[in-house]
Structure 1
Amino acid sequence: MPDALDAHLAPSPGAGRVTLDDVPLNRFHIKIAGLTFGAHFTEGYALGTIGYALASMNRQIPLDAFWMGMLGSSALIGIFFGSLVFGWLSDRLGRQKIFLLSFIIITAAAFAQFYATTPAMLVALRVLIGFGMGGDFAVGHAILAEFSPRKHRGTLLGSFSVIWTIGYVIANVLGMHYANASPDAWRWLLASAGIPAFLVLVLRIGTPESPRWLLGRGRGDEARRIVRKHFGPNVTLDADAGEHFAPPGGFARLFKPDLIRRTIFNCAFFVCLVIPYFAIYTFLPSILKAIDLNEGSGADLLLNGVLVIGALLGIWLTIKLSRRAFLIGSFAVTCVSLLALAVLPSSASLWMIAAFALFTLTMSAFSNLVGVFPPECFPTEARACGVGLAIACSRLGSAIGTFLLPLGIAGVGVKVTMLALAAVLFIGMLVSIAWAPETKHLTLNEASGN
């Protein structure tokens, strides 16, 4: 028997038929969103722990700039490979299998970090965590997009960034307070990511396959049974609703004439957004110290609070603004903010905090769009591959940026490093002006060009 919420939100038996794109939000949507949000919390938390764990680990296991860079970028390297491999597998084997497998990998590797005895061992484990994360990023965005009604799709997909940011900030706060509590505190901090990962893994058991994927593979009866079970008998998902049989296209499909511009756009804007994000926030304590904003200023707590506020603001802006305007304007604001940090003298501490806060607020807000644009831009038969490729390119770029950042600060100084990151954001703005599509009010088929 349906519960009260489903009875209130789902269409009644006598109502007219509606498609999956226009079905009212119900409890099943909330469940799928919760499972993907829990994953993003875990991923933000796991990536957020490394910055403060490194400082603690360095006192027990001395690290040079090379190992600092490798440990900071190792999970990102894993995400690069995981998103490619699991994105490809998801379009062939289905969303549900990868939805579960990715978190088996993350959970096991997260707990195993407690037993790392060398930097190389910890790098290997964090690459494995990233490998699982890459799979989850690719399939999580795809499966939620394929279940979500268009009215709420932008909000649900954009909320990934909010939950990720909350996990990241909680990890930072715990790191600030407990990273130096004992010689082995870094082990407990890193391994604690296994707790939310295990909870997500257990709750994902029994998740159904995406009906859009099933229908694309010619398994229409299975697809319609899932739709009837979770959305009611009045909801349709069939060929006359715009779906059609389409075998998985693989990565080659992304470079066909009808998709190549969208493929390049999603990879390029994603890369230009995450390079400064991960480079700066992986080494936030070191950067604040380099620009004389660490000791006694409370800047680290302020900026972590602004990260959360920005992520929440991003949901509202995703609803109110067009996708293009939000993306282009945000690139411009973050670029100017980093330019200000590069040219302001260290004595202008209040202005530097203001510039850093504006950068943080805007970066956190428009990071919501990395969960929105890729799944909206690609058709079902290539959606996980498209999302996976965009994520892979972004994580490769951010891994390189994260690896080079401590070397850049040591070699040319923080000011020149900020100028280089501002240039990356400027390139992202130009790419968005040239190629960003507007997908806000379209069905998933229309948005992806089907």
Structure 2
Amino acid sequence: MSKVRTMEEMPLSRFHFKMFTYSSGSAFLDGYIIGIIGVALSVIKTQFDMSLTMMGLLGTATLVGMFFGGLIGGYLTDLIGRKKMFLIDMLVMLVVSVLQFFAHDPIQLAILRVILGIAVGADYPIAGALMAEFSPKKNRGGLLGGINSLWYVGYASSFLVGYFMLSIGDTSWRWMLASSAVPVFLLLIARLNMPESPRWLASKGREKEANAIIQKIFGDNVVMSAEPMSKVKTTFLDIFRNGNGKWTIFVSVFWSLQLIPTFGIGTYIPEIIGQFGFTDGKMEYLGSAILNLIYLVGLIPFLYLVEKWGRRPTIIWPFFISSISLFILGATSGLKMSFVFVFALFVIYGIFNNAMGMHEWIYPNELFPTHIRGTAVGFSTAITRAASATSTFLFPTILANYGLANTLYICGGLFFIGFLFTLFMAPETKNMSLTEASSIKKGTTLGTESSVINKAVN
């Protein structure tokens, strides 16, 4: 008789990479939609008489929408299922992407960007939950962390698309913003063939459907990972109960400390590059795209190290190194340093920032049980996007009133706080099953969950 194995013990296969494609599309769209507004604003501001406040509103509208999308979408993901929510938010994203082309004024555009953000925010908890629930435990960190790399692909792509579309002229911003409809449509078609999560089905008492999916994908003699087979009610407040509150706070805080500087710098990086003295018409947008592609390449070693060294060192030290890089950039910002010097520091900052950013997908999806995984990730997404929206809204005002050096000092200081916070709070979940990771330091036992596997094996 063949040995019975769990889904988390299965080796990497084509199916896992297919699920990675479905899931990473969320990060790509997030990066693309947020990035393209940075280039579009350079054209929009020449056609509309906009104050700094209105500029900030347009820059942050998507993030504001993501607050509501994460908060509501995460809960609905746990309530009605991963696949159904995956398709609903794609349809919303497609329609709104096209409608941006026809916006008549900044207010109308800001409203559309908020709605677009709601759909993007809802996609986050779905994508991470699905990838985590299908991943082998030995590769889960790399797969979840790899999703974050697609954010940089999307972000860099937006600057490349924006750079080439600038030649269209006054209407180029319309084409830029509507261009997100293309990847959204392709992802919608691809997701029609994806399966529902067996772990979610089992948590809702639908064991037969869950087992049918497992057998279809992995074959016979493969069972559910150690998870309760009885129906579990999804309650929003459970993310603060039964030991989950500690991890809800941990994820929300470290994620916010990473994103606040990242979105502020990322949204206005063409202007920052220009203030360093390296501007030549459209070249700052091309430079921004190149920087983000380098960040992507720099992430690849960390996808290996997160499984080799673990979660803690690959989040703690990137916070520290990114903070030091920004402190040095701030200290030398008025000294007319060489392009190579400034570029190298931005590369160091970006690579290590990307390394800690991959934990935005790893920790939230490992530290919570299946029946509230989407809710917890959605709540954390909402909190972090609210913080990011505030920083992105205030960034141009801070930059204008306090100067580049002080702005970089503030960003570096936030990263340093993140270094101290993760040093004392970050848990290690390397090589743990989802059941083990979601029970860590909660004072709970694995008896109920483990009994499912024991019954199946025996």
Task: Name the TM-score, length of structure 2 as normaliser.
Answer: 0.91
Return the letter of the residue paired with 1:382.
I
Shift of 1:257: 4.5
* Contact map agreement 1:72 1:403 (CA 8 A) in 2: yes
Aligned to 1:9: none
Shift of 1:200: 0.8
Aligned to 1:367: 357
Aligned to 2:213: 226
Shift of 1:299: 4.7
C-alpha separation in 2, matches of 1:427 and 1:251:
29
- String of CA shifts for 1:8-46, please: whole Å, max 9, x gaps: xxxxxx631101111122332222211112232222222
1:252 aligns with 2:237: yes
SS in 2 for 1:294: coil
In the TM superposition, what are the counterparts of 1:399-414 in structure 2 within 5 Å?
A: 399-414=389-404
- Seq. identity, %: 35
* Contact map agreement 1:261 1:435 (CA 8 A) in 2: no
Identify which range, 397-406 or 60-69, moves more after superposition.
60-69
Shift of 1:244: 4.0
C-alpha separation in 2, matches of 1:106 and 1:319:
34
Aligned to 2:410: 420
Return the letter of the residue paired with 1:308.
L
C-alpha separation in 1, matches of 2:28 and 2:403:
33
Aligned to 2:268: 283
Distance 1:368 1:251, change over 3 A: same
Aligned to 2:330: 342
Aligned to 2:311: 323
- String of CA shifts for 1:338-389, please: whole Å, max 9, x gaps: 1111111332234333222211121123211211111011111110011111
Shift of 1:179: 2.1
C-alpha separation in 2, matches of 1:243 and 1:19:
14
Distance 1:257 1:427, change over 3 A: farther
Of 386, 392, 401 in structure 2, the residue corresponding to residue 396 of structure 1 is 386
Distance 1:432 1:68, change over 3 A: same
Shift of 1:216: 1.1
Aligned to 1:432: 422
Shift of 1:324: 0.4
Distance 1:218 1:62, change over 3 A: same
SS in 2 for 1:287: helix
Of 270, 277, 288 in structure 1, the residue corresponding to residue 255 of structure 2 is 270
C-alpha separation in 2, matches of 1:65 and 1:256:
42
Distance 1:178 1:318, change over 3 A: same
In the TM superposition, what are the counterparts of 1:72-151 in structure 2 within 5 Å?
A: 72-151=59-138
* Contact map agreement 2:69 2:121 (CA 8 A) in 1: yes
Aligned to 1:333: 321
1:181 aligns with 2:168: yes
SS in 2 for 1:114: helix
Task: Name the TM-score, length of structure 1 as normaliser.
Answer: 0.92
Query: Where in structure 1 are there 5+ consecutive unaligned residues?
Result: 1-13
Count of residue pairs the alignment pairs up? 435
Shift of 1:321: 2.3
C-alpha separation in 2, matches of 1:418 and 1:84:
30
In the TM superposition, what are the counterparts of 1:13-28 in structure 2 within 5 Å?
A: 15-28=2-15
* Contact map agreement 1:53 1:186 (CA 8 A) in 2: yes
Aligned to 2:435: 445
Identify which range, 39-48 or 186-195, moves more after superposition.
39-48
Shift of 1:426: 1.5
Identify which range, 21-30 or 224-233, moves more after superposition.
21-30
1:353 aligns with 2:343: yes
What's the RMSD between the two structures over aligned residues? 1.8
Shift of 1:114: 0.6
* Contact map agreement 1:96 1:207 (CA 8 A) in 2: yes
C-alpha separation in 2, matches of 1:407 and 1:314:
35
Identify which range, 198-207 or 246-255, moves more after superposition.
246-255
C-alpha separation in 2, matches of 1:97 and 1:305:
33
